[in-house]
Amino acid sequence: MRALACDLGGTNVRFGLGVDGRLDPETVVQFPNERFSDFGTALKHYFGQVRVGRVERAVVALAAPIDGDTICLTNRNWTIARAEIAEIAGTGDVVLINDFVALGAALSRAEALVTRSVLPGAAGRGVKLVLGAGTGFNASALIEGGHVLAAEIGHTGFAPEPGLETALRDHFAGRFGRCSLDRVLSGSGLVALYRVACDRSGRAAALGDAAAVTAEGAAGRDADAVLACGTLSGMLGRTAGDLALTFLPRGGIYLTGGVTGALAPFIQGPDSPFARAFLAKGRMRELMRGFTLDLVMDQSAALVGCLAWPDLPCNTVRGGRAAGPT
C-alpha cells in the first residue's frame, strides 16, 4: 500500500510517502506553516513539489484533540477537514490522529528511530512513554499489546517552584486566567521565561524568539538565556518524572519536540538541570534511576508513526476512520 503521512504542528508541517508502512526518506519535506493560508494549500503545494502519484491512504497527525471529521489546531488558526484531504489526496481512506498518538505509534518501531541517550537506566519490557515540548507540550504512552494511550497532558495545570517559575506562572495566569503546561513547556514559554529573568535582573530583553534564547543560552553568552534554558529544562525534567511515576515506563522514555531538542545541552548528562529535576522524587529516587531516557533526533518520527498506526494490534481502519484512541 502507498500512503501519505503528514505531521502537522503549530509551527511546521511535514509530509512524506510510505510504501507498505515504511517511510521513503527521499519524499520527506518540511514547510513552515506561515507560508500558507491554510492546510489545504500546504497539502496541494506538497503534491505539486513531489511527484506523489496515487496514494491509497492518507494519515494526518494533528496537534489537537481528534473528535469528528473537522479539527481545529490548538496553536494555529487552521481548520482541517477530512473531506478536503480526501479530495486533494484522491483517496477516501483518510485517518486523522493526534500528533502524540503518532509518536506513540512510532515507539512500536523504536529501533528504527535515531536517538541519543540522556540517562542510561535499565531498559526492559513494558510501557514506553514519549513526551516533548515544541509549539506546545504533550505526551502519550505505548502499552503492551500495541495500544496507544492518547492524552492532552499539556492542558493540565502548571505547579511552579518558588522564584522564577512562580513569576512565569503569574505572567500567564494574568493573561489567560490560568497557566497550563502547554503555555510554559513551549517555545513561547521559553521566551516568556527569558523576559521574566531579564526583568528580575534589571536587563533589557535582547532576544526575541526561542531559537535565539536556546542558541545564546547554550553558548553561555547571555546570563538570562542560560538561566531561562536551565530553568525550563528543569521544569521539563520534573514533568517527565511525574509522568514516569504515573505510567512506570520500563520500556523507555523518549523525549521529542523542537524546543526539547534545542535544549539538549541542558538535558543530557546526569548533572544536567533536566536530570537533576527528573531524579528528585524523594523516596522514589532509586526507582527513577531505573528508567531509560533517550532524546529522539529523528524529525520524521511522527511520520513513521503515521505509517505504523493502522497496523498496530489495537487498531482497525474501516472506510477512512481509525478505531481506537485518537
* Segment 248-282, tens digit of pLDDT: 999 999 999 999 999 999 999 999 999 999 999 99
> What pLDDT, on a 0 to 100 scale, did the predictor assign at position 319?
37
Distance CA 315, CA 174 (A): 42
Q: What values do phi and psi take at 319, rounded to 5?
A: 60, 30
> What pLDDT, on a 0 to 100 scale, did the predictor assign at position 87?
96
Paired sense of beta strands 115-119 and 70-72, if any: unpaired
Place of cell 498506526: 309
Pick the CATH number of 115-297 from 3.30.70.100, 3.40.50.300, 3.40.50.920, 3.40.367.20: 3.40.367.20
At 134-175, the pLDDT tens digits run 999 999 999 988 899 999 999 999 999 999 999 999 999 999
Distance CA 105, CA 99 (A): 10
CA 206 to chain centre: 28
Domains 2-104+300-322 and 115-297 agree in fold: no
Place of cell 495566569: 173
- Sign of the torsion angle spanned by Cα atoms 163, 228, 10, 248: negative
Query: 202: which residues sit within 8 A by CB, 6+ positions away?
Result: none
What mean pLDDT is predicted for residues 17-29? 94
Domain ranges of the chain: 2-104+300-322, 115-297
Pick the CATH number of 2-104+300-322 from 3.30.360.10, 1.10.357.10, 3.40.50.720, 3.30.420.40: 3.30.420.40
Per-residue DSSP letter, 312 = S
